[in-house]
Amino acid sequence: MPWDAKSFTSKHNHKLKGEAASTAAAQASAMVKAGVPEGEAIATANKTGDRVMKKSKSLYREKT
C-alpha cells in the first residue's frame, strides 16, 4: 500500500511530524513496492522516522 505522511502517521506512528513522517512514508512505500513484507517495511520506516525526529531535535537545540 502506498502511504503519504498523513496516512502513515495516523495508522502507524502518531509521534512523527513533518520531514520524519514524509521520510518514513516514502521508505515504507518503496520497500513494499520492492517486495518486502508490509510489517517489516512499517517497522523499518518507524525506526528511520524516529532517527530523523531525534536528529532534527538535536539540530534545533544546537542552533539555539
Q: How far apart are CA 52 and CA 64, in angstroms?
A: 19
Q: How far apart are CA 58 and CA 63, in angstroms?
A: 9
Number of neighbouring beta carbons within 10 Å of residue 17? 14
The string of pLDDT tens digits covering residues 23-62 is: 999 999 999 999 999 999 999 999 999 998 888 776 555 5
| The pLDDT value given to residue 45 | 95
Residue-range domain boundaries for the chain: 5-63
Q: Which of 32, 38, 45, 51 is nearest to 5 (CA)?
A: 45
